[in-house]
Amino acid sequence: MDLIHPGSKEEVCEALRAASERGTRVSIVGGRTHADKGDPCEVDLEISTSGLDRVIAYDPAEMLAVVEGGMPMGHLRRILAEGGQEWPVDASDDATVGGTIATAPSSHRRLRMGPLRDTVVEIVLVTGDGRLVRSGARTVKSVAGYDVHRLATGSLGTLGAIVQAAIKVRPLPDARRVVRTSEGGMLAGRRILDAVPLPSSVVATPERIEIALEGWPEEIDEQTAAIKDATGVVEVLESGSVRGSEAIAGTTVVEVAVPPSKLEVVLDEEPSWLALMGVGIAWVGLPDPGERLTALRGRVAEAGGIAPVIRGPGGLGDAPVPALEVHRRLKAAFDPAGILAPGRFWGGL
């Protein structure tokens, strides 16, 4: 398979225009850190965004950063930290900003920080046929026209290549702390969630609950006291982070997304999981993508949710896609030749 590294947005446009004309199937690749998400698909060419790694604009006073799609997350983190800020997203340093937006992973801090999709305010997208399309605005809020950037976020590269994005960033907290309890399970998790004001995350596992706290030092002391009141023995870690999906063992890790109160019944028979309390996301580890995955997806479907695999084999699953006709028309408009990772997305798109 061929791999090319365009050095500019225009070169990405040219490459995709040519691919569309020839019917060359293309995958847009960033750091390949989230490549397992999506149904299997065959392509003839990979277009890497590694040549698009510039900072276009960053002024901490605006709490916005505009960077090119190939910017590695590690690089972005360093730049933002110099401005005393962060983009509250969990992706490894090798991931790219564009790839992270295209795969839209859930952060363990989603309870407090919200989903990634609400931090992306502008995207420059190269469509499958090589048109450069900008959507949104470089302001913290904007209602001007149709938000194409909303469609691109989480689209797994099937509508275009994200070559630039403006993201909302936030001040780094004065203090951070992780508190770990000795008691695990969903019930304990719910008790902590109800007892502690405004935690960044309450992550439950069968063995323990981990709570991420951040803010002013006196604030996290107040939260810690509330945790101690609600549960028995706790371990306080002044550094380090809550364990996320990377901590789950198994060849296949599934990201369950259901209404928060349904997590309990969905996870009932599973031995290995990590649940984001109050959010409705759980990462479940499975030894193989076979019957266990089918059974899990069955329970998730009953709960009105979805269960795509984010690590290992297993794909997105067969949850019904509402308004499939609308999806098909969108795909046909943004990728008329159908060359962008055909079949990778929901609904066979």
Partner 1 sequence: MQDLHAARRELEEALGADAVLSDPLALRLYARDASMVEGSAGLVVFPLSTDDVVACVRAAAAHHLSVVPRGSGTGLTGASTPIGDALVVVTSKMNRILEIRTEDRLAWVEPGLFNLDLGTALRGTGFTYMPDPSSQQVSSIGGNVATNAGGPHCLAYGVTSAHVLALDLVLSDGTVTRVGSEGPEAAGYDLRGVVVGSEGTLGLVTAACVRLTPEPPAIRTMLMGFAKVEDCAATVSAIIAGGVVPAALEMMDQGIVRAVEAFTHAGYPTDAAAVLLVEVDGIASGVAAEAREVEEAARGHEVGSIRVAASPEERALLWKGRKSAFGAIAQIAPHYHLHDCVVPRTKLVEILTGVYAICRREGITVTNVFHAGDGNLHPLLSFDRSEPGVLERVLRSSEEIVRLCVDAGGSLSGEHGIGLEKRDFMPLVFTDDDLAAQACVRSAFDPSGRMNPQKVLPDGARCGDFAVAAAGTDTTGIGDAAGIGTTIPEGTWI
Which residue has tokens 């989230």?
34
* Percent helix / strand / coil, the chain, rounded to 5: 30, 25, 45
| Whole-angstrom distance, CA of residue 173 vs CA of residue 110 | 16
- At 265, give phi and psi (nearest 5°): -70, -35
Which lies closer to partner 1 via its Cβ, residue 47 or residue 66? 66
Question: To 5 degrees, how large is the angle CA 343–CA 312–CA 151?
Answer: 40
Q: Which is nearer to partner 1, 288 or 329 (CB)?
A: 329
State the minimum distance, in angstroms, from the CB of residue 83 to partner 1: 10
Closest among 126, 159, 164 to 13, alpha carbons compared: 126
Q: Rounded to whole angstroms, what are the CA distances from 29 to 43, 50, 302?
A: 12, 8, 34
Taking the complex as a whole, how short is the minimal distance between the CB of residue 180 and partner 1, in angstroms?
20
CB 139 to partner 1: min, Å: 4
Nearer to partner 1, 173 or 289 (CB): 173
Question: Rounded to the nearest whole angstrom, what is the least distance from the CB of residue 1 to partner 1 in the complex?
Answer: 26
CB 319 to partner 1: min, Å = 4
Residues in CB range of 233: below 8 A, 6 or more apart: 181, 182
Tell me how far, at minimum, the Cβ of 322 lies from partner 1, in Å: 5
Is the Cβ of residue 132 or residue 247 nearer to partner 1 in the bound state? 132
Of 303, 295, 196, 200, nearest to 254 by C-alpha is 295
Question: CA-CA distance, 178 to 238, in Å (whole number)?
Answer: 6
Measured from the CB atom, is 188 or 281 closer to partner 1?
A: 281
24 vs 50 by CB, closer to partner 1: 24
36 vs 72 by CB, closer to partner 1:
36
Task: Kindly tell me which of 48 and 200 has the beta carbon lying closer to partner 1.
Answer: 200
Question: Two tokens at 246?
Answer: 């990377």
Min CB(4)–partner 1 separation in Å: 23
Q: Could you tell me the smallest distance in angstroms from the CB atom of residue 3 to partner 1?
A: 27
Q: 64-68 and 160-168 as β-strands: parallel, antiparallel, unpaired? A: antiparallel
**Helices marked H in 83-230:** 97-103, 110-113, 148-152, 186-195, 217-230
